[in-house]
Amino acid sequence: MIIQGDGKMSSVQAREDRERQFKKFWEVRAADYPLPFEEETYSNSKRIISLVKERGVVITKSRILDIGCGTGIYTLPLSFEASYVTGFDFSEAMLNRLIEQRDSNGIGNVDVVHSSWRDLDVQGEGFYKSFDIAWSSMSGAIREQEDIEKMESCARQWCVYIGWGRKRRNAFMEEVFKGHNLSYQPPPGAGKIKTILEGLKRHYSLDYIYTSWTWKGDIEKAVRNASAHIEVNGLEAKVELIREIAGCYLSGELVCHRTEAEIGLIVWRPL
């Protein structure tokens, strides 16, 4: 560990530790993360894609880079209109699920890149201005100004960012967070990116959209998933407490809980 003279962890080390926490979080989440063609997920994706097109973004015959693509929730639906889509993610488990979905649905115009966005060499990878659209949804990859500038460096025509808005509600997760003295609030998302874009003097559109989704799984999956949310906040999960809470949300043999949230859609032209 690199410690500065005042005893504080260096910013480089802090960022690396944070990246490791995020990577562990997404590897755990991958096993139960929604798949792109599940009915509720696909319906939400199509709704957002339609709104993006209403904002003037041309998806038809475009080359698209999906940053932090996960299981392909947008990567694969976008491929039906785009000429080619590249899914980019640092979670190998997420990409493996995307590949399974791609192959089982006979989709031939999608490839994947396994790497950290922070570590990407845009020029060396051949990404510089190689895509018509750079897209990122609900991903921790795009958080700071340098992430946005790298995103812009890949895009010729448009950048599309989808992130947390101002509200997030989930009764189960609120109980879990309260049991760990945490507040279940939306992570930094569209509001922060909006501020950065204003600092860069970019012209953008911002839409706040209500959405919701249901999580279902057995108790052990529920405990594993909730524990990951606690641990990514730097705390040790109280596994027995989470199991007790999960038991109150059983419907038959499955734990069911629903998230209601506002997400922010930001569209802008890169320099």
Q: Where are the alpha helices (DSSP H) in the chain?
A: 11-30, 39-54, 75-79, 92-104, 145-154, 171-178, 190-199, 219-231, 239-247
What pLDDT does residue 10 have? 64
Question: Beta strand 254-268 with 250-251: parallel, antiparallel or unpaired?
Answer: antiparallel
| pLDDT-flagged residues of the chain (< 50) | 1-5, 7
What's the confidence (pLDDT) of residue 3? 41
Q: Whole-angstrom Cα distance, residue 86 to residue 120? A: 14
User: Which H, E and C letters describe 95-127, residue by residue?
Assistant: HHHHHHHHHHCCCCCEEEEECCCCCCCCCCCCC
CA torsion, ordered 94, 75, 204, 127, to nearest 10 deg? 80
The pLDDT score that the predictor gives to residue 24 is 83
Hey, where are the domains in the chain? 11-167+186-212+261-268
Q: Does domain 11-167+186-212+261-268 have CATH number 3.40.50.150?
A: yes
Alpha-helical regions (H) of 36-91: 39-54, 75-79
Tell me, what's the pLDDT at 6? 52
Q: Supply the pLDDT for residue 11.
A: 64
At 33, list the tokens: 């993360």
pLDDT score, position 203? 97
Cα distances from 71 to residues 29, 86, 88, 203, 271, in angstroms, run 10, 12, 10, 31, 29
